[in-house]
Amino acid sequence: MEFFSAEFFSALLAILVIDLVLAGDNAIVIGMAARDLPKEQQKKVIVWGTIGAIVIRLIATLLVVWLLNIPGLLLAGGLLLIWIAYKLLVQEKKHEHIKAGENTWMAIRTIIIADAIMGLDNVLAVAGAAHGSFLLVVLGLIISVPIVVWGSTVIIGWIERFPSLIYIGSGVIAWTAAKMITEEPFLAVYFTANPEFKWFFSILVIGCVLLIGRRKKQKKSATYS
């Protein structure tokens, strides 16, 4: 992938959308871990907890980018991302298990551990969207993390006010999944020979995820109402 090409910027945009749409969990983790601390300590916890979470996530993402070079893992990762895109639409994530920290260090540790566990979907999605580019992974984190940290409450408000943002994020993840599958070496030859089939497959994956996810979400809403 050439630097600063259209493909480069489309991949970077996909990474930013994925990071921001999935940022709500980070905000909730940070808020719940620091909620019982004095206000003067909360800022320190947010900053250092986020730094620790970034380092862990960066290492994990770079490791996944490297692992996706192994034959067959692009296909497996793409199929897993399709499931993640679907679950993003229908799953109501619960965070009651996240306890508030009793002191600064415990709150920071809680943020790092919880983010590492809950951020696996983000890691895989970003790694897939990066197409093997470590630079894209780093740039995505550098740009999106300050927005996540300082604008996390705004992002949550946006998602609650404009539910369609979740559909955009899910669509981007589904698109990333389709690209991973079509770029799997032993499948790429078929998609390269038939570019129109590659586009059809990508649209089919995105459409199925959004339609099935929407129907499932509507059924769950009807059940609870």
Q: Per-residue pLDDT tens for 86-121?
A: 887 886 555 444 555 556 777 777 767 766 666 666
> According to the model, what pLDDT value does residue 97 have?
47
* Cα 131 from Cα 63, distance rounded (Å): 13
Q: Mean pLDDT, to the nearest integer, of 111-140?
A: 74
| Tokens (6 digits) for 200 | 């059809």
DSSP structure string for 111-160? HHHHHHHHTHHHHHHHHHHHTT-HHHHHHHHHHHHHHHHHHHHHHHHHHH
123 or 197, greater pLDDT: 197
Question: Which tens digits make up the pLDDT trace of 59-86?
Answer: 888 888 888 788 888 888 889 889 888 8
Least confident piece of the model among 141-145, 197-201, 221-225: 221-225
* Structure-token match 């609870």, residue found: 224
> According to the model, what pLDDT value does residue 63 have?
85
DSSP structure string for the chain? --TTSHHHHHHHHHHHHHHHHTHHHHHHHHHHHHTTS-HHHHHHHHHHHHHHHHHHHHHHHHHHHHHTTSTTHHHHHHHHHHHHHHHHHH-----TT-PPPSSHHHHHHHHHHHHHHHTHHHHHHHHHHHTT-HHHHHHHHHHHHHHHHHHHHHHHHHHHH-THHHHHHHHHHHHHHHHHHHTSHHHHHHHHH-HHHHHHHHHHHHHHHHHHHHHHHHHHHHHH-
The residue count of the chain comes to: 225
Considering the chain, what is the average pLDDT of its residues?
76
pTM: 0.69
Max avg pLDDT among 3-7, 17-21, 151-155, 183-187: 183-187
Question: Which tens digits make up the pLDDT trace of 14-62?
Answer: 887 777 666 655 665 666 666 666 767 777 777 777 778 778 878 888 8
